[in-house]
Amino acid sequence: MKGGQDSRIAETTRRRLQDKLSDPRIPDHENPEFLFSLTSNDLLLAILAGVTDPHESARNELANRGIDATGRNVGFERARRAWGIE
């Protein structure tokens, strides 16, 4: 598995995502090949230098959207708790 794994993601959710991302018909906005296409050079370098943590950013963004580790919309409070965000 590439990258770090978050233990809060269930194996069934992980498999569903792997299947979805392996589909050659995946839309560009969901294709990990294009994840950083609009990201500035400095931000990419900061990620690689360990100055910022993309996993933490992803957890914060999911909590801000009210999404839990299964991909369900559970509301902001439950999502923050699910991701361990105070």
d(CA 22, CA 17): 8
Question: For residue 65, is it within any domain?
Answer: yes
Residue 80's pLDDT is 97
Which tens digit of pLDDT belongs to each residue from 14-57?
999 999 999 999 999 999 999 999 999 999 999 999 999 999 99
Q: Tokens 């839309």 — which residue?
A: 27
63 in a structural domain: yes
How much is the pLDDT for 1?
37
Report helix, strand or coil for 73. Answer: strand
The widest CA-to-CA distance across the chain, in whole angstroms, is 38
86 has a pLDDT exceeding 90? no
Question: Each residue of 54-78: pLDDT tens digit?
Answer: 999 999 999 999 999 999 999 999 9
Number of domains forming the structure of the chain: 1
Domain that holds residue 85: 53-86
Structural domain includes residue 73: yes
Does residue 3 lie in a domain region? no
